[in-house]
Amino acid sequence: MKNIENRVALVTGASGGIGLELARQLRDRGYRLLLVSSDGEKLAKAKATLEQAPGAGAMDAAVVDLAQPGAARAVFDFTTGLGVEVDVLINNAGFGLYGEHVELDGERLARMLQLNVTTLAELCLTYGKSMKARGSGRILNVASTAAYQPTPFFAAYGASKSFVLSFSEALAKELEDHGVSVTCLSPGPTDTAFFGDLERRGLANAQFAPAARDSAAFVAKIGLEALFSGRLSRIVGTKNFWMAWSSRLAPRSVVATIAKNMMRTSPAPAQLGRQQG
């Protein structure tokens, strides 16, 4: 086993929000950080901020557009080029498109699904294979409470997060006998730019109001606690937990109708996209 000072954590979507907080808390645990984001300017600022902490260890950053085919290979080339093994993989990067599905931009839809679904699965394949071969490793995939029910006006985004949830729990069982743990984190409304944009676009209700949102630091803390305790899955917040699980007890038509009423804006929904980190 490596000493903690020699362990390496790879965080995608690390330039802001939950991803930056995950990186900050992993740094404080003594991990060497490998940071990935599509926004080079924000990533450079995040890296500089993380490096300012007393005793901060080594860290490297790569600008990679994870919404492009082949991105997982580019990330793997980045880490192998550094000559390091990734002990902790954090798949946090993602974005959502809000609006009527038939009115979405097709190119942006393809990019979202590439990022939220395909690239995440490919990163788990590549790094999970290495972890299995050496008999150790941890993976944290960030989903959403949107994974637990159909979400009109967020239809493809919610479905992509349902994929992350189901995929993560299945992968966890495949790898648990090989010294590798996989954890799925499902935050609810969080105080990030994503929910700020939703509010500005007219989605203003009590569930998404600023006072009801968890801080990114709190979500990251819960996520890392779940990761390092080997939890299969974790919903952030008691209220979010009961809302997510109650949706599994009600008829699907009722759940979908309630979600439709909650997610509808006035005037008609506008398209929205915001990447995590």
User: What would you measure as the largest C-alpha separation in the chain, in angstroms?
Assistant: 57
261, 254 Cβ separation under 8 angstroms: no
How far apart (Å, rounded) are the C-alpha atoms in residues 55 and 241?
Answer: 37
Helix-helix angle 216-228:17-28, to 10 degrees: 50
- Clarify whether 148 is annotated catalytic: no
CA distances from 119 to 49, 69, 83, 193, 219 (A): 27, 8, 22, 22, 23
Order of strands, edge to edge, in the sheet holding 137-142? 59-63, 32-37, 8-12, 88-91, 137-142, 180-186, 233-235
157, 98 Cβ separation under 8 angstroms: yes
Kind and range of the H or E element at 206? none
What would the two tokens of residue 195 be? 């929910």
**Active site residues per annotation:** 157
